[in-house]
Structure 1
């Protein structure tokens, strides 16, 4: 290395450090998960797939705009389960008490069929539940439900198929039940294996948690510096609150 390169590097070093140090501090202080804790007893939380015209919301932006036109603000949202090539929910989907897709108890390949898989559902008394698919019982009290798999945490234990150090890493999102009855919605910021993702829910106190989907996952939080409103998927889970007046379209 000649003396001119040495001089150039010496001159650039303070500039590079000035750029890298704040970035490093930001990365260290950033949680590896995007999460939201919803109190379903006080906060509206529901599942969305199609609008009143039978059109899929498709993306978080599509849902956000539709809600805004009806006087509701989307507070937090993410995709809420796997879907088939026609973007229909894979497995059970209940919306406003109506069973749109039946419970799938068949055997098969892929994450959805990694038993036990499970069901996340909301009842008419404003309570959230997660259970293995084999334990789900249809009831008029079930207002909303989505089936997915695998279960992440079952009765406080990680799914038996998960292995620490697994190289199977993807962006992942899921839902868990906190001890106080709140719902924990979470998505990893970086690729993560099932073991570490499930451990996040267990460490948060969830005795039941369900995997929702992988690399297609997106999340949105109102007011956050970084949000994702794109995507093209099936069912969406959304937390809302009323606004002062609806936006007319």
Structure 2
């Protein structure tokens, strides 16, 4: 997960992150915005990077998608295993390497969030993250506007027992292997996969 560079400048776009990584001999294989952010482009809620807590867990009540309970936390341990839990169940045992909080949960214990309704007219481009039964991470973004129920159902049908909404119309995805290369954007946290580049 990425937010700021060594000069504390926000990456903001997938293209800027790709360029920064290339200068460090890393190839960006995949990237997607990684959760909601404040008007100051700070991560909304918990953010941990390289084992260091940057922003605290947000357990307050509020309005908007982030606060539609249950919301949740997607995190990676130091052993590279991925986890996705409701906010109330998150506990930092000292082995959390990366974490981002967002909401609402799309799928919880195999069930679609009870607030979502089939046929809802609340449609938007959306992106999210889910955990597959074998422990792999499924990151997905709709190419057209979709309601919460249909988006959650996508993760459910893929086999995810847990899935989390990341964000809406601001979402962007960089997936060159799939012919999808959105390099713009203006957001906070970015989730990226890289490999060494000679």
- Normalised by the length of structure 1, the TM-score is 0.79
Q: Is residue 82–residue 212 contact of structure 1 (8 Å, CA) maintained in 2?
A: yes
SS at match of 1:216: coil
Query: Take 1:92 and 1:135, find their aligned partners in 2: how far apart are those partners?
Result: 13
> Per-residue deviation at 1:126?
1.0
Query: Take 1:105 and 1:68, find their aligned partners in 2: how far apart are those partners?
Result: 37
SS at match of 1:185: strand
Which residue of structure 2 lines up, in the alignment, with residue 71 of structure 1?
25
- CA RMSD, 1 decimal: 0.7
Which residue of structure 2 lines up, in the alignment, with residue 227 of structure 1?
181
SS at match of 2:180: coil
Show structure 1 runs of 5+ residues with no match: 1-46, 245-249
1:115 is aligned, of 62, 65, 69, to: 69
1:149 is aligned, of 103, 110, 123, to: 103
> What does the per-residue CA deviation read over 1:213-246, in whole Å, with 9 as the maximum and x for residues that have no partner?
00000000124433100010000000111111xx
Residues 1:202 and 2:142 aligned together? no
> Per-residue deviation at 1:140?
1.0
SS at match of 1:66: helix
1:99 is aligned, of 21, 29, 53, to: 53
Residues 1:162 and 2:147 aligned together? no
Residues 1:140 and 2:132 aligned together? no
> Per-residue deviation at 1:138?
1.6
Q: Is residue 173–residue 180 contact of structure 2 (8 Å, CA) maintained in 1?
A: no
> What does the per-residue CA deviation read over 1:86-140, in whole Å, with 9 as the maximum and x for residues that have no partner?
0000000000111100000010000000000000000011100000000001221
Q: Is residue 75–residue 221 contact of structure 1 (8 Å, CA) maintained in 2?
A: yes
> Per-residue deviation at 1:74?
0.5
Please list, as runs of the form range in 1=range in 2, the aligned pairs for 1:11-30 lying within 5 A after superposition.
Answer: none
Query: Take 1:97 and 1:242, find their aligned partners in 2: how far apart are those partners?
Result: 21
- Normalised by the length of structure 2, the TM-score is 0.99
Please list, as runs of the form range in 1=range in 2, the aligned pairs for 1:40-55 lying within 5 A after superposition.
Answer: 47-55=1-9
| Structure of larger gyration radius | 1
1:183 is aligned, of 137, 152, 158, to: 137
Which residue of structure 1 lines up, in the alignment, with residue 14 of structure 2?
60
Show structure 2 runs of 5+ residues with no match: none
Which residue of structure 1 lines up, in the alignment, with residue 40 of structure 2?
86
SS at match of 2:149: helix
Runs of 4 or more above 6 Å deviation: none
